[in-house]
Structure 1
C-alpha cells in the first residue's frame, strides 16, 4: 500500500544543512495501523508530510497504491491526495463554519453537488458519533469532539489512507482512548490503512499492528508491535517501552533481600502457562512474587514477573537454569548471599 524507499529530506539555511529525514525505507501494508514513534525532532512528522508530498523529499521514492507520487504533475498530485486523508494535533477546523460545513468542505473542493456533500457529511458525523452536533460550531465542542470532526472531514473523499500527525497529543487520557477506539473502528469497518505519528508508546501498544522507532531522522528499529514490546533491540526503543511497561525493581528491595531475585518475561502462550507453580513443585525451594504484570499487545499476552527464590543455593541454581530453558528471557537481579558460587547472570 505505502512504500517509502531511501527517503531523505534536507533543509538548507544560510549557514548549514539540517537533515530532517535520513534515508528512511518503510513498507506499510494495506489495511494495517502503522505507528511511527519518536521524541520531538526525530523527523517523524516530516516523514509523514513527505508521504503525501506536503513536504517534497530531497531524494528517495514515495509510492501509495503503486503510484509514484513524486512523478505526478501538480494536477495529478492534487487528485491523488484525495485518496489520502490527514488529521492533525491542532484540528485545523474553520471556526466560522458549522460542524457539517467543515466536513462537507472537502467534498466541495472535490466538486461534489451540495446535496451529495451534505448527505455524505451527515453519514460521516454519525460514524464518528457526532450526528447531534451538525449545526454547532467548533468553539462549542470539546477537544475530543473537534478531533472527531477532523476525522470525519479526513474521510469525506473516501480515502484509502489516513495519516495522523500526533492526533491524540493535545487530548486527556480518557479522550485519547476514545479517539484510538474510533480509529480502530474505522480501520476495521472501512479497511482503511492508518499511519500514526506519536511520541507515546501507549498509543502503539493500544492499536498498532506494526511500528517504527525514529531518532535523528533515522529509523532505528521497526517490526510487529508485539515483537517490538517483547524483544526490543535498540536502546531508545527500550526507553520508550519502559514508559508503558515498567520492569524496574527498587534498589532498596534488592539490598534487603537475602534470596535470589529473578526477573522473568513471559511471551505469547507462556503467559498462561503454570511455569511458576511447576517450578516450586519440582524444586525444593520457596518463592515470593515481588512484582507481576501482564499486558496485551494485539490481543497477545506479554507478562513480567519478579520473584525471590530461597532455599538451598544449589537447588535455587538448578531452578534458575530450568527457567532459562523454558522462557525467552530470564535475568538474575540479585543473588542469594549465602551461596558459595553465585548463579550466572542470564544473557
Structure 2
C-alpha cells in the first residue's frame, strides 16, 4: 500500500545542511493503522510530509498504491494527492467559512460537480457527528469539533490513505479518546490506511496496529505495537514504553522486606491464568503484591506486578524459577532485602 525506500530529506539552512530524514525505508499494509513516534526533532513530521510530497525528498522513492510519487508530473501529482487525505494538529480551517463551506472547499478544489457537493458534505458531517453544526463558523466550535471538521475535509475526496500530523496533540485527554475512536471507526468501516505521527505513546497504544520509533531522522525500532510494548529493544523505545507501563516502587516499600522483590511481566494468555496462586500451592513461600497493573493493547493483556516472595531461601528460588518459566519475563530487583 505504502512503501518508502531509502528516503532522505536534507534542509539547507544559513548554518549549513540539516538532515531531517536519513535513509528511511518502511512498508505500511493496506487497511492498517501505522504509528510513527518520536520526540520533537526526530524527523517524523518531515517523513510524514514527504509521503504526499508536501516536502520533496532529497532522494529515495515513495510508492502509494504502486505509484511512485516522486516520478509524477505536477498534474499527475495533483491527481494522486486526491487519494491522500491529511489531518493537521492545528486544524487549518478557514475562519471566514462555515463548517459546510470548509468541507466543500476540498470538493470544489477537486472539481466535484456542484450537484454532488452538498450531498457529500451532509454525508461527511453525519460521519463525524456534526450534522447540527453545518452552518456554524470555526470560532464557535470546540477543539475536538474543529478536528472533526478537519477529518471530514480530509475524507471529502474518498482517499485511500489518511495522514495524521499530531492530530490529537492540541486536545484534552477526553477529546483525544473520542477523536481516536472516530479514526478507528473510519479505518474499520472505510478500510482507509492511516499513518499518524505522535510523541504520545498512549495514542499509539490505543489505536495503532504497527509502529516505528524515530530518532535523529532514522527509524531505530519497528514492529507490532504489542510486541514493542511487551519487549522494547532500544533505550529510547524503553523510555517511551516506560511512560505508559512502568512504575517505580516507593522507597518506603523497599525497606525492611523479609524476602526478595521481583517484577513479573505477564504477556498474552498467561496474564489471565492463576500463575501466582499456583506458586503458593506448589512452594512453601509467602507472597505480598506491592504494586501492579494490567494494560490491554490490541485487546491483549499485558500485566506488570511487583511482589515480595518470602520464606526459606531454597523455596524462594524454586518459586522464582517457576514463575520465570511460566512468564518468560521476570526480574529480581537488585536492592531487595
Tell me whether the two structures share a fold, i.e. TM-score over 0.5.
Answer: yes
Q: Is the 8 A contact 2:254 2:336 kept in 1?
A: no
Where does 1:42-61 land on structure 2 (aligned, <5 Å)? 42-61=42-61
Measured after TM superposition, the shift of residue 243 of structure 1 is: 1.3
* Matches of 1:14 and 1:108, distance apart in 2: 39
Alignment partners' CA distance in 2, 1:134 and 1:310: 65
Aligned to 2:247: 247
CA distance in 2, matches of 1:13, 1:329: 48
Cross-structure match for 1:148:
148
- Residues 259-285 of structure 1: CA distance to partner in whole angstroms, max 9, x if unpaired? 111110000101001100001110000
Q: 2:181 is matched with which residue?
A: 181
Contact 1:91 1:147 in 2 (8 A): yes
1:255-270 paired onto structure 2 within 5 Å: 255-270=255-270
Aligned length: 337
Shift of 1:246: 2.1
Q: 1:148 is paired with a residue of what secondary structure? A: helix
Cα distance, 1:246–1:335 mapped onto 2, change above 3 Å:
closer
Does 1:235 find its partner at 2:235?
yes
Helix, strand or coil at the partner of 1:205: helix
C-alpha displacement of 1:334: 4.5
What do residues 9-66 of structure 1 show as CA deviations (whole Å, max 9, x unaligned)? 0112243211100111110000000000000000000000000000001111100000
Q: Report if aligned partners of 1:89, 1:169 keep a CA contact under 8 Å in 2.
A: yes
Distance (whole Å) between structure 2 residues aligned to residue 212 and residue 143 of structure 1 = 28
Equivalents in 1 of 2:251, 2:115: separation in Å? Answer: 67
C-alpha distance in 1 between matches for 2:220 and 2:330 = 25
Structure 1 counterpart of 2:226: 226
Q: Does the alignment pair 1:284 with 2:312?
A: no
The separation in 2 between residues aligned to 1:76 and 1:212, in whole angstroms, is 30
Mind listing any 5+ residue stretches in structure 1 that lack a counterpart?
A: 338-347
Root-mean-square deviation over aligned CA pairs: 1.0
In the other structure, the counterpart of 1:17 is: 17
* Matched residue, 1:110: 110
Normalising to structure 2: TM-score of the pair?
0.98
- Per the TM alignment, residue 254 of structure 1 is displaced from its structure 2 partner at its CA by 1.9
- What's the TM-score once normalised by structure 1's chain length? 0.95
Partner residue, 2:196: 196
In structure 1, the partner of 2:308 is 308
Matches of 1:256 and 1:27 in 2, distance apart? 52
Give the Cα–Cα distance (whole angstroms) in 2 for the partners of residues 206 and 249 of structure 1.
Answer: 26
CA distance, structure 2, for counterparts of residue 217 and residue 87 of structure 1: 22
Q: Report the equivalent of 2:273.
A: 273
Q: Aligned partners of 1:228 and 1:180: how far apart in 2? A: 20
Aligned mates of 1:182, 1:336 — CA distance in 2: 46
1: CA distance, partners of 2:177 / 2:15: 44
CA–CA separation in structure 1 for the residues paired with 2:225 and 2:67:
27
Contact 1:254 1:334 in 2 (8 A): no
> Which residue pairs with 2:317 in the alignment?
317
| Alpha carbons of structure 1 residues 335 and 92: separation in structure 2 relative to 1, 3 Å | closer
Q: Corresponding residue for 2:78?
A: 78
Unmatched segments (≥5 aa) in structure 2: none
Q: Deviations over 1:70-128 (max 9, x none)?
A: 00001000000000000100100011111001111111011112221111011000000
The answer for the alignment partner of 1:8 in structure 2 is 8
Deviations 1:175-228 (A, max 9, x none): 000000000000000000000110000000001000000011011101000001
How much does 1:336 deviate? 6.4
Q: CA deviation at 1:314?
A: 1.0
Task: Provide the rounded CA distance (Å) in 1 between the counterparts of 2:62 and 2:288.
Answer: 54
